[in-house]
Amino acid sequence: MIKENMPLSLLEVKELLDELKIENKELDGFLKKFIKIKSVDEIKKELNGLGFIKMKAEHIAKLIDIMPENIQELNKIFTDVTLDENEANKILDIIKKHK
């Protein structure tokens, strides 16, 4: 039964699988290959703290997964909205701090 529908980053998926004691070697290998950070809580809190109405939970999950390095990569995540330069730079500053 589905209890809640919310976007998760790959690291959050791995943490959930570990918590539920679900083992899948292929999935673990995939997740380890693409997870780029060690902790989600701090970066997620900072990104939410920006209070950008344009930034949804889906965007935050993808930001954590991809960890874009420049505005062009950032714009590939925000395909449905346009960020101004100030917003983009604030997001990139937070991401750079957590790499």
**pLDDT digit string, tens, across residues 30-75:** 999 999 899 999 999 999 999 999 999 999 999 999 999 999 999 9
Does 78 map to a domain?
yes
Does 1 map to a domain?
no
Does 3 map to a domain?
no
Does 84 map to a domain?
yes
**What are 27's two structure tokens?**
């999935």
End-to-end CA distance of the chain: 36
C-alpha gyration radius of the chain: 14
Tally of domains within the chain = 1
Q: What is the dihedral of CA 12, 13, 16, 18, to 10 degrees?
A: -110
Q: Tell the residue number behind the tokens 């950032």, with chain if given.
A: 74
Does 26 map to a domain?
yes
Single-letter code of the amino acid located at 82: T
Q: Residue 20's domain spans which residues? A: 10-97
Give the Cα separation of 18 and 46 in Å (integer): 25
pLDDT at res. 57: 95
pLDDT at res. 99: 86
Does 47 map to a domain?
yes
Does 4 map to a domain?
no
